[in-house]
Amino acid sequence: MSEQRKVTLLGTGLMGAPMARNLLAAGFPLTVWNRSAEKARPLADQGATVADTPAHAVAQADVIVTMLADGYATGALLEDPSFCDQLKPGAVWIDMSSAKPEHARAQSAQLETLGLRHLDAPVSGGTKGAEAGSLAIMVGGDEKVMREVLPILSAMGRPVHVGPSGAGQLCKLANQTIVAVTISAVAEATLLAEQGGADPAALRAALRGGFADSVILQQHGERMSNRDFVPGGLSKFQLKDLDNTLAEARGLGLELPNTQAVRDRFEYLINEMNGAELDHSALYLELRKRNGMS
């Protein structure tokens, strides 16, 4: 695929902005748009064209990357005839937002009627992964289409084809289930160590490389110890993903008890503790409150 193909990225928030910078660094001609324009403007200094509307952004784009809040936000774009009129037949739409598998399948079918190919390619790795270009990218859809846009995906992380349309979003839900349940375990281990008189930083050092080690233990355990909950992954998005996981599980006739319990704790953190805009490691604060601590 020629690097001169025009790429558009819609959504330049916490994740989208560093992803855009990596595309620019890889040499792709890039147009960006964001609902809050001030979040997109700094990318102009790095070579991006900043569009004032999503319709202007996608005009003549060969590849469209979306990094929006959810499938509803992506669907809202596709409900706008003036937007759809600007879509270029033959283009590839890569939705890297976290959404429901059913949304991915429906949007793939709709885009096919407009002559576009669709991949659902949600990511994991948070803002650090987005900045480093090391995101785990779970790709659903036609594997031949994925290979066509592999240089673009590889500029942002490590893409793996996981199945047909919707499979990328399904794997992202599985990822978010592991993340949320692991955050809850790390919070409990951190609180146990603190209250028992052990140094949580020393605990993390002792466990490094062992069976219990993980990125979540090292990164989010440090956040918990330092009470640093500046968002890398927002708690409100973690709750959204867990709700989507449980809805998908119900459709499959499955019960996921740990996921349900952690989901309810995130709901409490968000609704009762004003934690929606905190990093998802702030579940530690809910645990402290549960134990009568400030």
Count Cα atoms within 13 angstroms, Cβ side, for 80.
Answer: 15
User: Which among 6, 39, 144, 172 is annotated as catalytic?
Assistant: 172
Contact assessment for residue 34 and residue 11, using Cβ atoms and an 8 Å cutoff: yes
| Sequential DSSP letters for 152-204 | HHHHHEEEEEEESTTHHHHHHHHHHHHHHHHHHHHHHHHHHHHHHT--HHHHH
The string over 232-264, giving b where at least 16 C-beta atoms fall within 10 Å of a residue's C-beta and e elsewhere, is bbbbbbbbbbbebbbebbeeeeeebeebeebbe
Give the Cβ contact number of residue 170 at 10 Å: 22
Residue 172 bears catalytic tag: yes
Element (H, E) at 87: none
Q: Amino acid identity, residue 165?
A: S
- Residue 10's beta-bridge partner residues? 33, 66
**Distance between alpha carbon 20 and the CA centroid of its chain, in Å?**
14
CB 68 within 8 A of CB 10: yes
H-type alpha helices, the chain: 16-25, 54-58, 71-78, 81-84, 101-113, 126-132, 143-148, 150-156, 167-196, 200-207, 215, 221-226, 235-251, 257-272, 283-290
DSSP state of 279: B
Contact 118, 93 (CB under 8 A): yes
Active site residues: 172
